[in-house]
Structure 1
Amino acid sequence: MSEESETNIEVSNADELITDEELQNKSKGQLIKKAGQFRDRRNELNQLASSRASKRDDLNAKTREKVDEAQEHRENRDTLNERVQEHKEVRNELNAEANELFDRVEDLKEDLELDEGKDLEELKEEIEQLEFKQQTEVLSSEEEQELIQKIENKREQYQSRKEKLEDSGDLEELVEEAEEVRAEASKHHEKVTELADRAQKHHNEMIEAYREADDIRDEADEMHEKFVEAQEAADAHHEAFVRVQKRLRELDKQEEEERKEEREAKQEEAREEAEEIYERFKEGETLDTEDLRKLQKTGLL
């Protein structure tokens, strides 16, 4: 069938396709022609309805495929989000542990006062400069005594600083441990970012699959409406065909009754004629061959 015939379907009920008045007034030949037209159009519309039903079913199957695809993306997204949450929890625990370790580092630094004062090299250089001054310059007794005291103070600072640094081995280990924990937390953060990106990709693909499923479902619904349209039109033509067939049977029956009545009338007429001939025969009238045949036919001879 052409595209035009597919899109231009006149959906009528059987009474509109052929009225009661037409059924009563049209000749038998006209009704036979009408029945053929209704039958052919019914078959065309049934074929069209079947084609549309097949297209609708194909579209519904594609819709289910897209929904299944979307569901698969949803499951993958949810699984990845669960893993994201797991790595987040581990990352947060490690960051909390690292923060605690770095706080302990700061506390230990404060206890050792390593962030205050000068480093050993600087103190050593200052001591050497003061000693050089003592050895090379002419100083008064008071100035020399003051310089000796400065040198002594610097030496005490140097020794104290040196002892603190020697006692800071635990600090270095603590710093190393804190940095290792922080690095491990960073690895989990990278995993969180990677998995979250993958989860977002599945989420976007899920949304797209659902959108495509909706579009295809709309096409399927539209095709279903067209199927119903064609099927209803086919049913109307079938009903019209049945009505015409019923009327043709009535006409056949009516014609048969008329023929029967005509036969009975002829038989009655022939009997009356034969009885008249028979009466003439009884009265002694000579009968010809035709008269004899009529008497034989009616059983009077």
Structure 2
Amino acid sequence: MAEEETTIEVSTADELITDDELQNKSKGQLIKNAGQFRDRRNELNQLASSRASERDDLNAKTREKVDEAQEHREKRDELNERVQEHKEIRNDLNADANELFDEVEQRKEDLELDEGKDLEQLKEEIEELEFKQQTEVLSTEDERELIEKIEGKREEYQDREEKLDQSGDLEGLVEEAESVRAEASKHHEKVTELADKAQEHHNQMIEAYREADDIRDEADEMHEDFVEAQEAADAHHEAFVEVQKRLRELDKQEEEEEKDKRAQEQEEAREEAEEIYERFKEGETLDTEDLRKLQKSGHL
């Protein structure tokens, strides 16, 4: 709710009424001033209360945003811990997979499986040579060379077949290595997924802290406005009290003056009664008013 614009121009009682004004203004003027100061004080106290309430609301919102930021911080840290856990598992699995693949390559190297032709290719070459021997008319020398070539291919085939047999579970080792690598990839995907979520919470934390700072600035400004209104209210209250004090002094002064006046009147009445009484004693005839004054004074 937007606050109604209120102009506040003073902060001390001296700015409202000076000592000279207190001493020289009439009682009627002071009574009017007292009412004005009282009404303005009440208005300013209400304004200060409104500003304090709005400040407190803003401070509460600030705390809510700080709590929200803290929640995002905790979730981010929790996710980062999980990221680290999956990273460690991924790295261990990748290390295991690398060892298995190295073992596969070492076995291949030891068996020379990467060198030479595969069994299917050798088999085709042997069959082509045997077909040539069976279908073509060759000289004795050519046929002998062809038979030697066929025998050499058969020996190569048999040697490679024996090496493959010696490799044992090499294929199974490859499958195991690939399985471990696949498991490492799953953990890497989890690392990426959790890291993205952690970054989201980090961004939300930063935004919540930024909003908290903005609201806190508003609360600080509102607190300054509250202090301004409260100080002005206090100044008007002080001025009201000073005027009331001066009015009491004037009332007392009037009472003293009235008392002095009555005493003076009584003294004058006594002296007059004494004079009348002396005239009475001398035998002078008194009128009704003179008799009344003598009776009032106690001489009769």
* Matching of residue 198 in structure 1 with residue 204 in structure 2: no
Shift of 1:287: 2.2
Q: Indicate the SS of the match to 2:113.
A: coil
Aligned mates of 1:142, 1:300 — CA distance in 2: 191
AA matched with 2:122 = L
1:255-283 alpha-carbon deviations (Å, 9 max, x no partner): 11111110000000000000101111111
Report the equivalent of 2:269: 270
Using the TM superposition, name which of 35-44 and 18-27 deviates more: 18-27
Shift of 1:112: 1.6
Q: Taking structure 1 as reference, are residues 267 and 91 closer, same or farther at Cα in structure 2, changes over 3 Å only?
A: same
Q: Taking structure 1 as reference, are residues 236 and 286 closer, same or farther at Cα in structure 2, changes over 3 Å only?
A: same
Aligned mates of 2:127, 2:248 — CA distance in 1: 138
Aligned mates of 1:233, 1:261 — CA distance in 2: 42
Aligned mates of 2:151, 2:159 — CA distance in 1: 12
Report the equivalent of 1:211: 210
Using the TM superposition, name which of 135-144 and 18-27 deviates more: 135-144
> Contact 2:41/2:237 (CA < 8 Å) preserved in 1?
yes
TM-score (norm 2): 0.96
Shift of 1:299: 2.0
Using the TM superposition, name which of 270-279 and 281-290 deviates more: 281-290
> Contact 2:10/2:16 (CA < 8 Å) preserved in 1?
no
Shift of 1:12: 3.3
Aligned mates of 2:5, 2:61 — CA distance in 1: 27
Aligned residue runs from structure 1 range 1-301, under 5 A: 5-6=5-6, 8-301=7-300
| Count of aligned pairs | 299
> Contact 2:37/2:236 (CA < 8 Å) preserved in 1?
yes
Shift of 1:241: 0.7
AA matched with 2:132 = K
Using the TM superposition, name which of 104-113 and 35-44 deviates more: 104-113
Aligned mates of 2:45, 2:276 — CA distance in 1: 65
> Contact 1:105/1:171 (CA < 8 Å) preserved in 2?
yes
Aligned mates of 1:23, 1:5 — CA distance in 2: 31
RMSD over aligned Cα atoms: 1.4
Mark the runs of 5 or more structure 1 residues left unpaired by the alignment: none
Shift of 1:237: 0.6
Q: Taking structure 1 as reference, are residues 259 and 93 closer, same or farther at Cα in structure 2, changes over 3 Å only?
A: same
Q: Indicate the SS of the match to 1:274.
A: helix
Shift of 1:5: 4.5
1:8-38 alpha-carbon deviations (Å, 9 max, x no partner): 1112311111111111111100110001000
Aligned mates of 1:131, 1:157 — CA distance in 2: 15
Aligned mates of 2:11, 2:272 — CA distance in 1: 58
Aligned mates of 1:16, 1:122 — CA distance in 2: 112
AA matched with 2:40 = R
Mark the runs of 5 or more structure 2 residues left unpaired by the alignment: none
Aligned mates of 1:87, 1:79 — CA distance in 2: 13
> Contact 1:66/1:213 (CA < 8 Å) preserved in 2?
yes
Q: Indicate the SS of the match to 2:169.
A: helix
Aligned mates of 1:155, 1:289 — CA distance in 2: 177
Aligned mates of 1:58, 1:30 — CA distance in 2: 42
Aligned mates of 2:35, 2:276 — CA distance in 1: 52
TM-score (norm 1): 0.96
Aligned mates of 2:12, 2:92 — CA distance in 1: 76
Aligned mates of 1:286, 1:156 — CA distance in 2: 185
Q: Taking structure 1 as reference, are residues 212 and 176 closer, same or farther at Cα in structure 2, changes over 3 Å only?
A: same
1:62-100 alpha-carbon deviations (Å, 9 max, x no partner): 000000010001001000100000000000000000011
Aligned mates of 2:17, 2:4 — CA distance in 1: 24
Aligned mates of 1:5, 1:147 — CA distance in 2: 114
> Contact 1:11/1:229 (CA < 8 Å) preserved in 2?
no
AA matched with 1:38 = F
